[in-house]
Amino acid sequence: MEKIIEVKHLSKYYGKSRGVIDLSFSVEKGEIFGFIGPNGAGKSTTIRTLLALIQPTSGTATIFGKDCITHAPTIAEKVGYLPGEVYYYDKMRVRELLLYSASFYGKNCVPNIDRLCKRLDLDQNKRIETLSLGNKKKVGIVQGLIHEPELIILDEPTTGLDPLMQQTFFDILKEENEKGATVLFSSHILSEVQKICSRVAIIREGRLVSIEDIAALKQKQVLGVSFEYEGEEAPDLADLPGVSEFTVDHNLCKLVFQGDVNVLVSTLANINLVSLHVEEPSLESIFMHYYSAKKDHV
Amino acid sequence: MNIFAFEFKRHLRMTLLFTLFLAVFSSGMLFFYMFIKEDLDMMMVFFDRFPAPMKAMMSSDISIVTTPLGLFSFIYSFISIIPAIQAIYLGLSIHGSPFSEKTSEFIFTKPASRARHFFMKSTSGVFLIVLETIVFVTVLISALFLMGESSGVAFTLVWIALSFLLTQLVFLAIGTLLAYVFMGMKSYLSVSLGVAAFFFAVSAFAVSGNADKLRYFTPFQYHRFDTLLMNGHMDSNLFFFTILIMTILLGISYFRFASVEVYSR
C-alpha cells in the first residue's frame, strides 16, 4: 500500500522543551488515520512539522514521498488543513476569504465553495468578524476542502461545532475518503476517532505509545458486568478466565471482564438471572485502561 | 486574487487616505506661495529669525524659498515625518499581520513558498508607495501648472519624485524588518511613530551639530528636497547607499521570515 505520510524518527525540541521525541509512523493511501493523545502530547507539533510550519530538530517526515520541509509548497497543493483554532481576516466576507484561499490552487473551486457552504449552512455574505466560533470553524472546513485535497489534515477539528454539524462534518469526511482522500485526524476526543478512523496512533508526552487498528483496540475491550440472580447459592465466577474484581452483595454480582464474551455468556446462561447489565466502555475507557497499562511499564 | 492583490487591496484605502492628505498639504503649500509672493523678502527675514538648528533642519540655504518648490521643500522638511510614519506602518502591517492577527497558520499552509510570500508582500508595498509617489508628483505638477509656475521644473520634479520614492521605500523596508524582529506586536501606529521620531531626532542632530556622519543613520537625510533644488540632481553616492541599505534591510527580513516557526496560537 502506498504511504501518503511517512514520519521517521522525528524529534522536535523548543529550546530545551520537548515537542515530540523519535516519532515514527506512516499513513497509507485512502485510510482515515487517528492521532490521539492528551493535550500537550505533541499532536500539533507533529502536524505543524508535516505542514512545514516548524522545522524538525531531527528525523524526517515525507508526504506523497517528498520531504515535507523542502517540498512544502508542492505538497500543499494537494493538502487540506483545518486547525483547531481558526483565525481569519475579520473584515473580509466569507466568500472573499474562500475565493482568496481558492486562488492559491489554480483551479475553479467555486462549485465546491457553493456546495460545501450549502451543506454546512454557511452564509457566504457575512463578515468573518460577525461569525460565531462554530461558523468560523465551518469556514475552516470549507477552505480546507475546496480544492479536493488528496490528504486532509485535521487538528482537533470539531471544537466549536454542535453535534448535528459534527455529524455533517463526519459525513463530508467519509465522502471525501470514499473519493480517495487520505485523512489524518488528530484529536483528544476518542469517541470522534472511534466514529471515523480505521487506525490510530497513540501519543503521550511526545512519544508514540502504540499504533492500533480501531477494531483490534476494541478487541481489548473491558466490560463492566453486573447481574442479579435468584437462588440461595451465589455463583462463583472469580476463577473464570478474564474475570476480575468479582464481588457479591446480597443477590447482586459485579465483575470486570476482558476476553472472549462467549465464555462469559455461556457461563451466565447456567445462572437463573433476574437482571443483567453489561456496560460497553467507550474507546476513552479502553484508551485509559490501555494507556495506564503502558504507562506502568514505562 | 493572489498575495499581491490581497495585500494591495487591503492597504489601498489607508494609502489613498494618506495620499489625499499629502496632496492637500502639498498643493496648499504651493498655493501659499502665491499669497506671499509679493512679500518674500519679509518671509526670508521671518525664516531667518528661526533658531539655527531649526533653520538647518529646513534648509542649508534660506534663499530657496523664493520659488514655489523651494518654499514647499522648506516646509516639507518639517512634515516629512508623516510620510515616514505611513511607510513604516505599511511595512509593519503588510508583513506583521499574519503574526499579530494569527492568520499565519491559514496563509502559510497554502501552496506558496516563503520566498513567494515575502516577494509578493514586498512588491505590494512597493506598488502602494509608487502609487502614492505618482499622485504626489501629479498634484505638484498640477498645482504648479495652475499657478503658471510649471516652466522649467519638469526635471526637478523627476528628482523630487525619485527622492520621495526612495526615502519612502527605505522606511517601508525599516517597517518590514521591524515586523519580523518584533513578531506578533499589534501597536503598529505607536511603533511607527516612535521609530520615525527617532530617525527625525537623529536627523536634527545630524544637521545641527558637527556629527556629519550621522546623516547616514537617518533616511531623512539621504535625499533632501532642498539639496536637490540647490544641486539640480541627486547625490549618486547616496542613491547607491540607499539601494544598499534597502537590500540589507530586506535581506535580513527575508532570512528572519524564512526561519520563522509558526507554533503559537
Cβ of A76 within 8 Å of Cβ of B109? The answer is yes
pLDDT at B47: 75
A chain contacts of residue B2, beta-carbon cutoff 8 Å = 103-104
Q: Could you tell me whether strands A252-257 and A223-229 are parallel, antiparallel, or unpaired per DSSP bridges?
A: antiparallel
User: Which residue stretches of chain A are H helix?
Assistant: 43-50, 72-76, 94-102, 110-119, 133-145, 163-178, 190-196, 214-219, 261-268, 283-297
By Cβ distance, the residue of B106, B110, B261 closest to A87 is B106
pLDDT at A297: 46
DSSP conformational letter for A235: P
B chain contacts of residue A43, beta-carbon cutoff 8 Å = none
Most confident of A161-165, A177-181, B64-68: A177-181
Where in chain A are the domains? 3-218, 222-280
Residue-averaged pLDDT of chain A: 88
| Per-residue pLDDT tens over the stretch A63-106 | 999 999 999 999 999 999 998 889 999 999 999 999 999 999 98
B chain contacts of residue A44, beta-carbon cutoff 8 Å = 263
Q: If you search the block for the grid coordinates 485510510, which residue do you land on?
A: A31
- ipTM score: 0.82
Residue in A closest to B112 by C-alpha? A73
Q: What are the residues of chain A with a beta carbon less than 8 Å away from any beta carbon of chain B?
A: 14, 44-45, 48, 51-55, 72-74, 76-77, 79, 81, 83-90, 99-101, 103-105, 143
Confidence of residue A285 (pLDDT cuts 50, 70, 90): low
DSSP conformational letter for B214: G
Q: B264: part of which helix (H) or strand (E)?
A: none
- DSSP letter string, B113-159: -HHHHHHHHHHHHHHHHHHHHHHHHHHHHHHHHHHT--TT-HHHHHH
Min Cα distance A103 → chain B (Å) is: 6
- Rg of chain A's alpha carbons, rounded to an integer? 23
Per-residue pLDDT of chain B (265 residues; tens, 9 = 90+): 589 999 999 999 999 999 999 889 888 888 888 787 777 777 777 777 777 777 777 666 777 777 888 888 878 887 889 999 999 999 999 999 998 888 999 999 999 999 999 999 999 999 999 999 999 889 888 888 888 877 777 788 888 889 999 999 999 999 999 999 998 888 899 999 999 999 998 888 887 776 677 788 889 888 887 777 777 778 888 889 999 999 999 999 999 999 888 875 4
Q: What span, in angstroms and rounded, lies between the C-alpha atoms of A153 and A66?
A: 16
DSSP conformational letter for A269: T
Whether pLDDT at A298 is above 50: no
Q: A200: part of which helix (H) or strand (E)?
A: strand A199-204
* DSSP-assigned beta bridge partners for residue A277: A226
Confidence of residue A221 (pLDDT cuts 50, 70, 90): low
DSSP conformational letter for B20: H
> B105 at the A interface (CB within 8 A)?
yes
Strands laid side by side in the A58-63 sheet: A17-28, A3-14, A58-63, A66-67
> B103 at the A interface (CB within 8 A)?
yes
Cβ of A101 within 8 Å of Cβ of B106? The answer is yes
Where in chain B are the domains? 3-258
Q: Pick the more confident residue, A149 or A262.
A: A149
Exposure string for B29-60, b = 16+ CB within 10 A, e = fewer: bbeebeeeeeeeeebeeebeeeeeeebbbbbe
CATH code of the domain made up of A222-280: 3.30.70
Q: What span, in angstroms and rounded, lies between the C-alpha atoms of B233 and B153?
A: 12
CATH class of residue range A3-218 = alpha beta
